[in-house]
Structure 1
Amino acid sequence: MSFQNSDKIEQLKQATPARIGIGRAGTRPTSRELLKLRCDHAAAVDSVYGSVSSGLLAELGLFTVESGAADQELYLKRPDLGRLLPEHSIQLLAERCAPSPQVQIVVSDGLSAGAVEHNLRDIYPALLDSLQVLGLSAGTPFFIRNGRVGIMNAIGDLLRPETVVLLIGERPGLVTSRSLSAYLCYRPRAGMTDSDRMVISNIHQGGTPPVEAGAYIGSLIARMLEQKKSGVGLLL
């Protein structure tokens, strides 16, 4: 199939992974594109309902706690529960985590376990290296199953860190199901909102490379500590 201004179409296709200029067969998409669409959709579903392997968590020294959403169905239907820490998780964190750390690193599957599986081995060591170079210390890292971004507030209330870094799987789409986000907040507490947080999104091999993101997070934390703030009030 031919397009008018085909050179413009090619420029757009080179600039974005979005489905543009894919052609059609009559009134329908081509078989190739339809099958690719179904494949990408299946990958997104698998990532939402998948789980992070215990082997990966053990390899990186992360122990596991749960959010208030006890299972995946409840997590999807009740986002508010993913922002809460149940009593047994509170007790475990109080027992195992160093109190009042300078940087508290937390990992969560969020809406994409696949994002954690594919990126954590690269971004986590890079983040630790960045903190070390900058002379910053990290507390006891851990993994939260079925966590939401707002659970940073509950962690802040419990452990009283200066900063929290939450590495969490993004909602998967039809371009990639492996995208990770890093949320950062200075002294998170109950009542804080998204405007109080920083976010680095689209972390994967086709977006912001995980190693590069890990290094940048360290420098951003240093700036947050220097200015004693995060979110819209932080001067970049």
Structure 2
Amino acid sequence: MTLDKPLDKEMCLRLKESTPARICVGRSGPRLKTQTLLKLRADHSIAMDAVWSSVDENIIDELKFIKVQTLVKDKDEYVTRPDLGKKFSEKTIDYIKGRCLDSPEVQIIAGDGLSSMAINANIKDIYSIILDGLNSKGYRVGTPIFVKYARVATMDRISEALKAKVTIILIGERPGLATGESMSSYMAYESSTNKPESQRTVISNIHKNGLPPVEAGAQIVHLIDVMMREKNSGVELKI
């Protein structure tokens, strides 16, 4: 705590323990203090690295995901053309159809999104929990797919190509100044490009200091059970 002469120091310390927000930091005139400013700049650098770095493909290979890429050519285009991050070439769609299990009950996708760090930090733990849970329940699980330069809507095109019942995409969230490792899970029943965004059920803030990936994996398996039973997802899903 860098606040000068706090009225209630103990209360400030309790507040700081409950949130990563920059509170009780004080000022030097109209400016942040040096310590606070340096921490802010360091956190901003982490967020930039999360966006501009790449997923460790050794992790993807170890988990036996097949690898595909959207129409995006590089990171610059990914940031400036979000529409291209939602689409695949016809050649890529044919490759997916040729390499992946047709008509799975559950199709799992991982995508770098806006934080490659999130995939590197969380994918091993969350994927193993999801896969074990689905296998124990007897679901027919599709061939796992990793999408480079992915936006959430890539799940719709993969779902349509493979005729999946439930499709999940685990994707890096836009980083903030508290963490660069936050992942989200978007799930949909019979995901389709003809359906609105509200078709998706979302679990967000998955990382070690938020919702731990192991716990998130168990929640995802439970939600898949509900979706399969109710044959629905998103705002129409009654839990």
Residue type of the alignment partner of 2:30: T
Aligned to 1:21: 24
Residue type of the alignment partner of 1:70: K
Residue type of the alignment partner of 2:213: P
1:215 has 2:205 as partner? no
1:84-140 deviations in Å (ceiling 9; x for gaps): 111221121011001110000000000000000011111110111111222222100
Secondary structure of 2:186's match? strand
Shift of residue 9 of structure 1?
3.0
In structure 2, list runs of 5 or more residues that go unmatched: none
State which drifts further: 58-67 or 11-20: 11-20
1:226 has 2:234 as partner? no
1:126 and 1:61 map into 2 onto residues whose CA distance is: 15
Aligned to 1:109: 112
1:62 and 1:21 map into 2 onto residues whose CA distance is: 45
1:142 has 2:145 as partner? yes
Q: Contact between 1:129 and 1:215, CA under 8 Å: does it hold in 2?
A: no
Aligned to 2:97: 94
Percent identity of equivalent pairs: 43
In structure 1, list runs of 5 or more residues that go unmatched: none
Aligned to 1:69: 72
1:147 and 1:56 map into 2 onto residues whose CA distance is: 17
Q: Contact between 2:182 and 2:207, CA under 8 Å: does it hold in 1?
A: yes
1:195 and 1:118 map into 2 onto residues whose CA distance is: 28
Instruction: Work out which of the residue numbers 173, 177, 181 in structure 2 matches 1:174.
Output: 177
Q: Contact between 1:102 and 1:139, CA under 8 Å: does it hold in 2?
A: yes
1:109 and 1:193 map into 2 onto residues whose CA distance is: 23
Secondary structure of 2:28's match? coil
1:41-68 deviations in Å (ceiling 9; x for gaps): 1111111011111211111111210112
Shift of residue 7 of structure 1?
4.0
| Equivalent pairs, count | 236
Instruction: Work out which of the residue numbers 35, 60, 63 in structure 1 matches 2:63.
Output: 60
Q: Contact between 2:107 and 2:159, CA under 8 Å: does it hold in 1?
A: no
**What is the root-mean-square deviation in Å for CA atoms of aligned residues?**
1.2
2:112 and 2:197 map into 1 onto residues whose CA distance is: 19
1:171 and 1:144 map into 2 onto residues whose CA distance is: 16
Shift of residue 154 of structure 1?
1.0
1:194 and 1:206 map into 2 onto residues whose CA distance is: 28
Shift of residue 223 of structure 1?
0.4
Secondary structure of 1:79's match? coil
Secondary structure of 1:115's match? helix
1:229 and 1:9 map into 2 onto residues whose CA distance is: 45
TM-score by length of 1: 0.96
Residue type of the alignment partner of 1:133: S
Pairing of 1:34-45 with structure 2 (within 5 A): 34-45=37-48
1:121-180 deviations in Å (ceiling 9; x for gaps): 111101111112222221000100011111121112211100001000000010000000
Instruction: Work out which of the residue numbers 186, 189, 200 in structure 2 matches 1:186.
Output: 189
Secondary structure of 1:164's match? strand
1:220 and 1:141 map into 2 onto residues whose CA distance is: 19
2:217 and 2:178 map into 1 onto residues whose CA distance is: 23
Q: Contact between 1:44 and 1:174, CA under 8 Å: does it hold in 2?
A: yes
